[in-house]
Amino acid sequence: MHDPAAVPWLESLNALTGGLFLLTAFGLVALRQVYGCLRLYVIQSILLASSAFLLAALDHSWHLVAVGVLDASTKAIAVPWVFRRALHDEVQTRREITQVLNVPTALLLALALAIVAYLLAAPLVAAGGGRGVNVNLPVGLAGLFVGGLTAALRREAVPLFLGLLAMENSSFFAGIAVAPDLPLLAEVAIAFDVLILVLVVNVLTRAVHEHIGTTKVGALRTLRERETR
């Protein structure tokens, strides 16, 4: 058994991790550079793995250690590797991303969504209970909403998809606290699924690039109803 005195210390460290995690989610809304977004995503994934390790130490759970290792290896290593290869072909220099909304407005919206997430999470935390839930669930829910906002505001393929991946990261961030004993088979399969998805998106991004010479997927808007004559 661990020293009981160490526990509050670990819990505040987890709270700090949660705060930083939310900060990376805000960063993904605001940042205007593709490489910067990718780096933020890697940092977010490392924070996710750290939180898994901290909760593992609190719970004495080898299971969560495995989940942390799995997350770190897929999301902090494999996913960025695939994206870097995709980016290498397309954007040699750091490219500015055009957005639908300006940064302050987007950040204000993100803040509002985060507050809504906290309000929604409160009754759930009260109903369920569990170690770390009071930090991880609201942060995860807020990250989910803010990630959705990121994806909705982006017009460039890779940053848009990083917003979606941040949503998935956030679901996991809540998941390591609310479902620490989820069968490992499911965890492995989910990680594998994310990896396949990233590969598919990579193929698709290349095809879009070859076809229309840009990866501005926001410019794709030809499919709509036409009036029948």
Structure tokens at 186: 């499911």
Q: What are phi and psi of 183, to 5 degrees?
A: -50, 135
Min CB(72)–other proteins separation in Å: 18
Min CB(23)–other proteins separation in Å: 19
**Closer to other proteins by Cβ: residue 28 or 167:** 167
Min CB(30)–other proteins separation in Å: 20
CB 30 within 8 A of CB 103: yes
User: Measured between alpha carbons, how far is residue 128 from residues 62, 123, 204 in Å?
Assistant: 23, 9, 41
**Closer to other proteins by Cβ: residue 55 or 190:** 190
Three-class DSSP category at 154 = strand
User: Measured between alpha carbons, how far is residue 164 from residues 95, 135, 153 in Å?
Assistant: 20, 22, 11
Min CB(220)–other proteins separation in Å: 4
Min CB(81)–other proteins separation in Å: 19
**Closer to other proteins by Cβ: residue 3 or 225:** 225
**Closer to other proteins by Cβ: residue 43 or 195:** 195
Give the whole-angstrom CA distance, residue 51 versus residue 68.
Answer: 8
Listed residue (166, 70, 65, 179) closest to 132, CA to CA: 179
Task: List interacting residues with other proteins (CB under 8 A).
Answer: 120, 123-124, 127-130, 140-141, 144, 147-148, 151, 157, 160-161, 164, 167-168, 170-172, 174-175, 178-179, 181-183, 185-186, 189-190, 193, 196-197, 200-201, 203-204, 207-208, 211-212, 217, 220-223, 225-229
**Closer to other proteins by Cβ: residue 87 or 201:** 201
**Closer to other proteins by Cβ: residue 87 or 151:** 151
What lies within 8 Å, CB to CB, of 102 at 6+ separation is: none
Which residues, listed in sequence order, are joined to residue 96 by a DSSP beta bridge? 33
CB atoms within 10 A of CB 132: 25
Min CB(178)–other proteins separation in Å: 4
